[in-house]
Amino acid sequence: MLRALAVDDERPSLEELLYLLNADPRIGSAEGAGDATEALRRINRALESGPDGPDAIDVVFLDIQMPGLDGLDLARLLTGFARPPLVVFVTAHEDFAVQAFDLKAVDYVLKPVRKERLAEAVRRAAAQRGTAPPEPAPRIPVHEPDPDHIAVELGGVTRFVAVDDITHVEAQGDYARLHTDRGSHLVRIPLSTLEERWRSRGFVRIHRRHLVALRHIGELRLDAGTVSVLIGSEELQVSRRHARELRDLLMRRTTG
């Protein structure tokens, strides 16, 4: 069973997170810290205790924006230890996902935290640490109502975005950011999966980080050997390996 440390400078958020962790059968113990400095002292004690010692910690559930040392700073420090605890980021801000996964985070959970979403993060940590729960917590999948929509989380609420409204998709670690004319949404689906799923719907890879909808391309630009596309007011670079295929697809689309 996992031994957890939750870190958040906002007391109500910390208490709610600890409540949810203690309710999960895969968590053997959970304690809290009000800031990253306090957490670092507790983690140092855990490392001195050893992986099987009474003060050991398996996983840290870590807020990002905190006064002084923030969550990303703490995670960077942990990468210098020989056997650091796993890290799950729990934050109200979706903009740090790339940095989080660069730091080998197990998961990235957005606030307000839902019980089912936190359970998935605990499952990932347990699988990576090699522990098994007495009873697996049930996974509650979100089913898309039809292939024309994709489910996204927004403020703890699941909403459905029309695929036809998506102009382009940007890779962000294990996540993908879906861009529409009205904003963007972060989903935990690799870009390669969306590329395969939406190829028949007119989406094409133009770069290792970008997937675009052909119907939303306003211009194809050639400048000194470089290729880019204009989607709304945003210009995206096309990699050399994808340029020829993109030009062919656009030509067939305009002449067909």
User: How far apart, in Å, do the first and last CA atoms of the chain sit?
Assistant: 60
What DSSP string runs through 45-95?
Answer: HHHHH-TTSTT--SEEEE-S--SSS-HHHHHHHHTTSSSPPEEEEEES-GG
**Secondary structure letter of residue 158 according to DSSP:** E
Which pLDDT score is estimated for 169? Answer: 95
Q: Which helix (H) or strand (E) holds 22?
A: helix 11-22
Q: Are strands 210-213 and 166-172 parallel, antiparallel or unpaired?
A: antiparallel
Tell me if 25 sits within 8 A of 2, measured CB to CB: no
Tell me if 40 sits within 8 A of 95, measured CB to CB: no
Which pLDDT score is estimated for 62? Answer: 96
State residue 48 phi and psi, 5-degree precision.
-65, -30
Which pLDDT score is estimated for 188? Answer: 81
Taking only the tens place, the pLDDT of each residue in 28-51 is: 999 999 999 999 999 999 988 888
Which pLDDT score is estimated for 222? Answer: 86
The tokens of 163 are what? 């695929």
CA distance 205 to 212: 6
Kindly report whether the global pTM for this prediction surpasses the value 0.85: no
What are the residue ranges in the chain where pLDDT is below 50? 132-145
CA distance 99 to 97: 6
Tell me if 219 sits within 8 A of 230, measured CB to CB: yes
Taking only the tens place, the pLDDT of each residue in 176-224 is: 889 999 888 888 888 889 999 999 999 999 999 999 999 999 998 888 8
